Structures are given as C-alpha cells and as structure tokens.
Amino acid sequence: MARRIAAGAAYGGGSIGLLGVAAVGVVLAEVQLAKRNVGGGVAPLPPGADGLYGRTFAASEPGPGPLRLALLGDSTAAGQGVRRAGQTPGALLASGLAAVAERPVVLRNVALPGARSDDLERQVSLLLSAPTGPPDVCVIMIGANDVTHRMPATESVRLLAAAVRRLRTAGSEVVVGTCPDLGTIEPVYQPLRWMARRVSRQLAAAQTIVVVEQGGRTVSLGDLLGPEFAANPREMFGADNYHPSAEGYATAAMAVLPTVCAVLGVWPETDRLEPDRHEDMLPVAKAAAEAAREAGTEVTGARAPWALLKHRRRRRLTATEPPAPAPSDAEETEEDAARRT
C-alpha cells in the first residue's frame, strides 16, 4: 500500500481509499467521540527557541563557523505543549548537535502548529530566502494533521517530496521524522484506533519511500505517540492529551539526533550494519514498512532500489541552555512574529 501511495504521488494518482462503505458510519461516530475527548486541556503556544546553542564552543579558539539547523513541519516540530524554549525539540536537537560536533549551532524554526504538508512550500521558501543561505541540515516533522484532516495520502507525500527536493537542491541535508502513530492517542477508541494506526503507518512508510528517493533520510516517530506513550500517557502527553509533554519531546529528539549528526558526519559510529540490532539492507519499500512498525528506525538510501535500515545507538539528552541571539539574521521577521502569534 505504501508503494502504491508513493507511486500515485509520482504519477498523479488520486486518493487511495482505506475504508469500506459499511465501516464509514461507525468510524464517523468514533471521530465525533474522539473530538470531544482529545484536546480537553489547553496546550500553550510553542515558545520561541531560535538562536545560538553551544556558546562555549563559539568562545573557544577560532574554527569553522556555526552549523545551521532548521526545523519545519507542524506543532510537533514547533514544540507546542511545553512552556520553556529548552524543552522544544528544536532546542534539544540544537544542543545535542552542538555537544556532539563541538561546534556552535544556530537554530531557526519555521514550523507552524496545525500545518499540513501543503504548508511546506511556504516554510521552505522562508528558509531559502534567508540572507545566511540554506541550512546545513533540515529536520521535518509532518503528517499527523494530514491524517486528521483527511488529506489524500498521494497529495501528502507528493508535497513532502517536493519540499525535500528543493532543500536538497539548495545543498541542505534533510532528515524527516515520519508521521507518528495516531492510534495510540489515549481517548481514541476502536475501531477508529485501529484505522488511525493503519493510516498513519501507511503514510509514514510512503513518506519514507519518497524522501529516500530524493536523497533524504527518515526516522520513524512511532515513539512520539507509540508504545512508550501508550504505557505512560500521563508522563508522555501534554495537558491537552494530544501534544507531547517535555518528556515526550525529549524521547522524540533522542530518536532523531543520531541521524542528524550522521548526515553531517559528526556521529562517532561507523556505518557498518549490526545484525544483532536488526540492521539490514533491504528494498526501499520493505525497509519503509519495517521502519513504520518499529519506532526510532532510520532509513537511508543505498544503491537503488536498496536502502539501509539502521537502529542507531541513542545518547541521553541533557538540559539545554537558554538560546542566545544568532550571530546573524537574529532579528525576528514579520512573518516569524505572525507565526508565533
């Protein structure tokens, strides 16, 4: 199914139906029930975390300039649900990257809460129009709102592929956190829970296929709303029972950080496959399906049509320092201000 979705996006196919007619009435009733239960609390607006991280490395002896990290996507990438800038995934990734690379990192986050894949074109244009040039690495987290707003999967992955292609053409490395498993949101009941899991995993697998084909890498974000969240919903979900808490964002950032470091060549591990960690070289469609089932799995392209399936060793993330103003382009643009409001 993931391959059909990806192929439909490439060749202009329409939406692929996933529900039988007999199930529509039941599922619609479950959707209405879920809407009354999800979002019962109030998620604070995402705090601004843009700026310079790893200031101690900037103050050391002269060396290469700061790395430029950008985040794109929806409320997950923006960090909605936490109150401190240091708890957002952007801040966690910037601090972790600075520590591993031993270089300062400038973070810019253009993600928009509520965004779907059709907003990626605007976000990419915003990044590429900056006077500092394209980022060294871009992290995209997108897909949940595509599922909940019933965007056709073929359109969703086509828009993601176009965004990745633009960033790669500009010279940026790209890491995509694929669609989280929406079937683990606590107030969602059967059969909607089963359908949400099926649709979100199929979208995640299709995202993996098109991203790898465009030269990017993916990390499965099933853990974002996956088994760990289902087992500890009070600790892993925020006040509205939908967006992650600070602990949830730290879990997601830990899964993405090794791949961000790897694409920049600063991760202290070899690319040798470790069979005892279930790493393998597989056809890209099979690798995408395997990654969708196991959170934290990285997929990167090898020789077409093959892809590497990796489970990189994670490192604990420490508390982040407050961001300092970026050394250049630090002033907030009107569009950035509008995004935060």
* Cα distance between residue 3 and residue 160, in whole Å: 15
Q: In what order do the strands lie in the sheet with 51-53?
A: 51-53, 105-109, 67-73, 137-141, 173-177, 217-219, 298-301, 306-310, 280-283
Query: What's the rounded Cα separation, in Å, for the pair 209 and 2?
Result: 8
Question: Considering 50, 75, 136, 200, which one is annotated as catalytic?
Answer: 75
* Residues 341, 323: Cα–Cα separation, whole Å: 20
List the catalytic residue out of 50, 95, 172, 243.
243
Residue identified by tokens 């950035």 is 336
Q: Does the annotation mark 278 as catalytic?
A: no
Say how far apart CA 243 and CA 80 lie, in whole Å: 7
Strand 280-283 versus strand 306-310 pairing type: antiparallel
- Partners of 299 in beta bridges: 218, 309
The question of whether 75 is a catalytic residue gets the answer yes
Residue 334 burial (CB count, 10 A)? 7
Residue 214 to residue 131: CA distance in whole angstroms: 25
Residue 49 contacts residue 90 (beta carbons within 8 Å):
yes
Tell me which residues are annotated as active site: 75, 240, 243
